[in-house]
């Protein structure tokens, strides 16, 4: 399966360095190595391999190679200053692709900036827009809800295999990867926080409440959630409040990159799958077209709530309400449509009998809409 980022990455490599980030085992290495079809003599180096680590440390990769891939390079101390020195002195060629399973814009391992020297691309789990509509959008969405969108568990088409993969995947990140970058002594409490977040998907998260449950400080909860975000385990969707005097809620909603991690409740799983798909789509637009995007939810003092507010270039592109089967108009969606004047307002229903439009709000099949996103 060819990922949609391959073509834009190959074009960007002729101009600057490229940094490719995303969750562990999402397919970054496979994507990077697929560039061999364009540059057969590329050199691949992985920081986790002892011989490669020494080459990276000494900056002895092949200068005559058409492309050098530096996998997990961010684990090297002061990696930014090292690659900046090489790039500023030698430029391109060789083309340089740096990959990593952490947010490399956050983890610097030094204070040097690479501003203006690289293009960023983010690779996320498989989505309907990438998988297509076969056998049907509704069925593929069900599979994403159950198996998650990471290639190995999804392609296994086995719930048992997916559960086994998921257990080792999370433990590897928490016990090894996080410890490499953000040493945490109380691993069991961190794992407990992950479990509690699994139960709160789709609901605003209170740091104070989580702190009381785990018996740690709210500051520690907030810091740990930020670490989980930096390691691509979860991501936050914050409330939208611009031009809404009565929208005072500040708590974020937390979603998992792996929808399979979400508690066994279909509504929460569905909302999480949509959140991942939207984040993937918006970041693809940012990385390939330079758009400014943002994803929010909205809720006011009267508890009128809409699941997602999509911003593109600081304008409201869409208000989206996600439903399992409810096809009666969600009144808060109409309320916010009248006040915020989005380009479109959609109630997207997973199990929809008949598409329709009610008071200017389109009630449409969720799967087909997700499959239509431009990737």
Mean pLDDT across the stretch 324-338? Answer: 95
Mean pLDDT across the stretch 264-288? Answer: 95
What is the pLDDT, as a whole number, of residue 108? 40
| Antiparallel, parallel or unpaired: β 253-256 and 234-239 | antiparallel
pLDDT band at residue 120, thresholds of 50, 70 and 90? very high
With beta carbons less than 8 A apart as the criterion, state whether 122 and 18 touch.
no
pLDDT band at residue 104, thresholds of 50, 70 and 90? low
Percent helix, strand and coil across the chain, each to the nearest 5: 45, 20, 35
pLDDT band at residue 111, thresholds of 50, 70 and 90? very low
- Judged against a pLDDT cut of 60, whether residue 3 lies above it is answered with yes
- CA dist., res. 194 & res. 8, Å (int): 34
Mean pLDDT of the chain: 90
What is the pLDDT, as a whole number, of residue 176? 75
Tokens of 240: 């939208």
pLDDT band at residue 78, thresholds of 50, 70 and 90? confident
- Judged against a pLDDT cut of 80, whether residue 182 lies above it is answered with no
Question: In the chain, which residue ranges form alpha helices assigned H by DSSP?
Answer: 6-12, 28-34, 50-58, 79-90, 128-131, 137-147, 151-156, 159-172, 178-181, 187-199, 207-214, 218-230, 266-289, 331-340, 366-371
Which helix (H) or strand (E) segment holds residue 303: the answer is none
Q: What count of other Cβ atoms lies within 10 Å of the Cβ of residue 152?
A: 16
114 versus 196: which is more confidently predicted?
196
What is the phi/psi pair of residue 166, to 5°?
-65, -40
The structural domains of the chain, with segments of one domain joined by +, span: 6-122, 128-371
- CA dist., res. 354 & res. 44, Å (int): 51
Residue 233 neighbours by CB under 8 Å, 6+ apart: 23, 170, 173, 194, 256, 257, 258
Mean pLDDT across the stretch 215-228? Answer: 92
- Judged against a pLDDT cut of 80, whether residue 135 lies above it is answered with no
- Judged against a pLDDT cut of 50, whether residue 164 lies above it is answered with yes
- Judged against a pLDDT cut of 80, whether residue 371 lies above it is answered with yes
CATH of 6-122, one of 2.102.10.10, 3.40.50.300, 1.50.10.100, 3.40.190.100: 3.40.50.300
pLDDT tens-place string over residues 4-25: 999 999 999 999 999 999 999 9
Mean pLDDT across the stretch 271-277? Answer: 97
DSSP state string for 206-233:
PHHHHHHHHTS-HHHHHHHHHHHHHTTS
């Amino acid at each position: 399966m060819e990922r949609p980022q391959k073509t834009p990455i190959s074009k960007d490599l002729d101009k600057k360095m490229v940094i490719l980030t995303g969750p562990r085992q999402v397919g970054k290495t496979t994507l990077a190595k697929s560039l061999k079809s364009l540059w057969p003599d590329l050199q691949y180096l992985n920081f986790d391999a002892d011989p490669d680590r020494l080459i990276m440390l000494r900056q002895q990769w092949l200068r005559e190679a058409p492309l050098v891939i530096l996998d997990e390079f961010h684990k090297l101390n002061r990696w930014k200053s090292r690659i900046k020195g090489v790039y500023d002195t030698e430029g391109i060629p060789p083309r340089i692709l740096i990959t990593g399973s952490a947010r490399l814009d956050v983890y610097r391992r030094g204070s040097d900036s690479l501003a203006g020297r690289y293009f960023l691309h983010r690779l996320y789990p498989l989505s309907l827009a990438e998988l297509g509509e076969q056998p049907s959008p509704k069925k593929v969405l069900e599979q994403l809800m159950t198996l998650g969108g990471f290639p190995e568990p999804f392609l296994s088409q086995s719930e048992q295999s997916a559960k086994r993969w998921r257990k080792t995947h999370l433990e590897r990140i928490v016990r090894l990867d996080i410890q490499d970058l953000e040493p945490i002594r109380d691993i069991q409490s961190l794992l407990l926080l992950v479990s509690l977040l699994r139960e709160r998907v789709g609901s605003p998260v209170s740091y104070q409440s989580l702190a009381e449950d785990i018996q740690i400080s709210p500051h520690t909860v907030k810091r740990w959630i930020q670490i989980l975000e930096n390691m691509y385990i979860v991501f936050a969707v914050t409330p939208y409040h611009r031009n809404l005097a009565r929208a005072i809620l500040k708590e974020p909603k937390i979603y998992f990159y792996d929808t399979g991690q979400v508690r066994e409740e279909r509504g929460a799983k569905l909302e999480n799958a949509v959140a991942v798909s939207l984040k993937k789509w918006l970041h693809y637009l940012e990385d390939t077209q330079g758009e400014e995007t943002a994803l929010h939810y909205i809720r006011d003092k009267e508890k009128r709530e809409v699941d997602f507010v999509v911003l593109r270039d600081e304008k409201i592109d869409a208000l989206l309400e996600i439903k399992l089967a409810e096809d009666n108009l969600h009144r808060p969606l109409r309320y916010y449509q009248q006040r915020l004047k989005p380009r479109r307002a959609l109630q997207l229903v997973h199990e929809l009998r008949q598409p329709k439009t009610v008071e200017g709000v389109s009630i449409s099949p969720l799967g087909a809409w997700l499959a239509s996103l431009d990737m």
